[in-house]
Every structure is written in C-alpha cells, then in structure tokens.
C-alpha cells in the first residue's frame, strides 16, 4: 500500500537558517512526488514536483527537493528561510497507474520561524 511519512510534526527554525523537511514514501511503482504548502485557512499551493529526470528539483520560493530512490525519500530544502515561510508543508505521492489525481499525503510538518 502506498504511504507517506513525514517524521517531523513540528519544526522551529530561526529566520535566515537553513531548512530540511523530511519525507519518506512507500510506493510499488514509479512514484510521482510533490511538496505542497498550506498557509493557515488557505488551500494548498504546489511548491515543486518530481515525475522523472533530474533528481534535484527546483521549486518556487527558493525551495528544492531531492529524490533518492535508494532511500525512498524526497526531502525538501531551503538554504535560508524567511518569516513568510511559516506554514504547514505536505509531501504527497502519486503514480503512473493512478495518476496525480489520487495523491497520498503525509500528515504534514508545521514550520515555525523564530525572528
């Protein structure tokens, strides 16, 4: 069965510090991988996605993620966070069989930024 694990429920970092949010997935076929961000009371905004090709993916707002098949991971990184990055971050997996519409989401990581 497909599953996504985000081990960190809540992370706090200082403004300007680097960030890494972890995501591990379980999927029996070629995965499509996504990171979404959700600000309070808002919908989900796509940060980046991986379908194939280069395993280091660049996204919006200065985020990047690296797909590591051997570790079944797709960690999200940002070299220097801004106060506006405070939000909830969701990793999701879809696949070639079911497509991107039937995504399986992790439970999310809440990011707090200290000034």
- Judged by the rule CB under 8 A, the positions of this chain that interact with another protein are 4, 34, 36, 41-46, 49, 51, 90, 92, 96, 99-108
User: Nearest approach, Cβ of 42 to another protein (angstroms)?
Assistant: 5
User: Nearest approach, Cβ of 80 to another protein (angstroms)?
Assistant: 26
Angstrom CA distances, 57 to 47, 63, 83, 88, 95, stand at 10, 9, 23, 20, 17
User: Nearest approach, Cβ of 32 to another protein (angstroms)?
Assistant: 8
CB count within 10 Å of CB 59 equals 18
Q: Of 92, 3, 1, which Cα lies nearest the Cα of 48?
A: 92
Residue among 56 and 97 whose Cβ is closer to another protein: 97
């Amino acid at each position: 069965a497909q599953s996504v694990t985000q081990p960190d429920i809540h992370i706090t970092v200082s403004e300007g510090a680097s960030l890494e949010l972890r995501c591990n997935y379980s999927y029996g076929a070629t995965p499509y991988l996504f990171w979404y961000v959700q600000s309070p009371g808002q919908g989900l905004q796509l940060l980046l996605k991986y379908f194939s090709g280069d395993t280091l993916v660049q996204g919006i707002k200065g985020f990047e993620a690296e797909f590591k098949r051997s570790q079944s991971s797709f960690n999200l990184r940002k070299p220097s966070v801004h106060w506006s990055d405070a939000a909830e971050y969701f990793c999701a997996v879809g696949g070639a069989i079911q497509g991107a519409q039937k995504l399986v989401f992790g439970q999310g990581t809440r990011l707090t930024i200290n000034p």
